[in-house]
Amino acid sequence: MDEVLFPLRLSLQVSLVATLLLTALTLPLALVFARRRFPGRGLLEVVFSLPLVLPPTVLGYYLVVVFGQRGILGGWLQQALGWTPMFNWWGAVLASMVVAFPLLFHSALAALSTVDRNLEQAAYTLGASPWRTFWRVTLPLAQRGIMAGVVLAFARALGEFGATLMIAGNIPGRTNTMPLAIYGAFMGGDLTQAHWLVLIQTLIALLVLLVARRGQGRSWR
């Protein structure tokens, strides 16, 4: 039973944490891209789309280059904090964040770009700070598109396989998320376990998409 429950619990934990962190990082970035013109903006947008088209193994490779024990950041993190995302569930979080990033970024950018600048400026003339304006005006008006991006990112994180394998490995009881556990069970010939995992993964994906649909019908327009 644990062979099924652990990957399920781990997948949900990884996807949830990855989606929350990703949302906190991506929204300010998308807001800057929606509001400012600066040199290199178009190039960056293209770079930000790379995770959509690169094989996840390539992304995983880059993650190891950055966060590996001899990596650009990884060496420093290991020395300063004694922390590494290699071969533990944080590696899976990083992998999920990278692959899900373009989905959230582009949804959020599109949603934020449609918010009428006059409304934000009206809020300023009524005394609202940029912070209050963002929470009371910009975000509520863009929430439908942003939520669609968040749900998409969560669904993508749940299905992440290749980059996770590269950085976190497939360690039973440690880093075997659902997709990795399915692969392990299938390759190990445990088809009953593979059946169950596949069924659960499919049901969760279905549930996420249904929630996304409902969320869209419920917003203010």
Partner 1 sequence: MALTAPPTPVLELSLTKRLGAFSLDVTLTAHSRRLVIWGHSGAGKSLTLRMIAGLAQPDAGRLAVEGRVLHDSQAQVSLSPQTRGVGLVFQDFALFPHYTVAQNLAFGLGRAPEAAEKVKAMARRMEVERLLNQRPAQLSGGQRQRVALGRALLAQPRLLLLDEPFSSLDSGLRARLRQEFADMVKGLDLPIILVTHDPEDVRALAQGVAIFRQGRCQGASPLPRALRLSPPPPDDLLPYLEQAS
Residues 164-193 contacting partner 1, CB under 8 A? none
218 touches partner 1 by CB under 8 A: no
126 touches partner 1 by CB under 8 A: yes
Distance CA(212)–CA(22), nearest Å, equals 18
Which residue in 29, 58, 128, 208 binds partner 1 (CB under 8 A)? 128
How far the first Cα of the chain sits from its last, in Å, is 45
Nearer to partner 1, 37 or 125 (CB): 125
Distance CA(144)–CA(221), nearest Å, equals 10
Phi-psi region of 37 (alpha: psi -120 to 50; beta: other; left: phi over 0): beta
125 touches partner 1 by CB under 8 A: yes
Residues 141-160 contacting partner 1, CB under 8 A? 141
Distance CA(156)–CA(163), nearest Å, equals 12
DSSP state of 83: -
Q: How far is the CB of 27 from partner 1 (least distance, A)?
A: 18
All residues at 6 or more sequence positions from 136 whose CB lies less than 8 Å from its CB, including other chains: 123, 128
User: Which listed range, 23-31, 76-84, 125-133, 161-169, lies at the site for partner 1 (CB under 8 A)?
Assistant: 125-133
215 touches partner 1 by CB under 8 A: no
User: Which listed range, 29-37, 53-61, 133-141, 149-157, lies at the site for partner 1 (CB under 8 A)?
Assistant: 133-141
Q: How many chain residues touch partner 1 (CB under 8 A)?
A: 17
Which residue in 52, 122, 187, 207 binds partner 1 (CB under 8 A)? 122
Distance CA(118)–CA(91), nearest Å, equals 42
Q: How far is the CB of 131 from partner 1 (least distance, A)?
A: 11
Q: Are 198 and 187 in contact (CB under 8 A)?
A: no
- Cα separations (Å) of 154 from 5, 23, 29? 19, 10, 19
φ/ψ (deg, to 5) at 219: -75, 180
How long a stretch of residues is the chain?
A: 221
Q: How far is the CB of 111 from partner 1 (least distance, A)?
A: 13
Which residue in 34, 109, 137, 158 binds partner 1 (CB under 8 A)? 137
24 touches partner 1 by CB under 8 A: no
Helices and strands of the chain, counted as H and E runs:
11, 0
121 touches partner 1 by CB under 8 A: yes
Return residues touching partner 1 (CB under 8 A).
Answer: 116, 118-119, 121-129, 136-137, 140-141, 220
